[in-house]
Amino acid sequence: MTTPSQGTVILQGLKTGNIYSYGIYISDLGGVNWKWATDVTAAAASSDFIITPNEPCRIIDICTTAAPTVSLTSAILTNDVSTGQVVVIANTAAALSNRSIPRIVIAPGKKLTIKQL
């Protein structure tokens, strides 16, 4: 049985300190992109990417309702190029009291995609 997940990715502007929050939908299939939403809960039909704010940002949290059962890791890409950084989905579950803080810096105005491996 496959189990998709929903959650939130939070970025913080490095110049202004502003917080940018995005809803995410994570399918339980390998090789597909996370889905993003800025104004409602993300769903299977949501966008494959976001354009980051016009300031450098740091991903300060990735929180999911549960870890999918098939895809265990996801790669972070900017402008369709891997950053070399991988998110271990099991470490992002909201129920974890010791959830790690990613601290991944993303340049301004970039296409941000997270692809399941």
Residues of the chain scoring pLDDT < 50: 1
The Cα–Cα gap between 22 and 85 comes to 19
Q: Evaluate whether 24 touches 6 at the Cβ level (below 8 Å).
A: yes
pLDDT at 68: 63
- Number of folded domains that form the chain: 1
Cβ-in-10-Å burial (0-12, 13-18, 19+) of 46 comes to middle
Q: What are phi and psi of 28, to 5 degrees?
A: -105, 45
Write out pLDDT tens, residues 70-80. Answer: 667 889 999 99
pLDDT at 73: 83
What is the residue range of 41's domain? 5-116
3-state secondary structure at position 54? coil
pLDDT at 106: 95
The Cα–Cα gap between 81 and 75 comes to 10
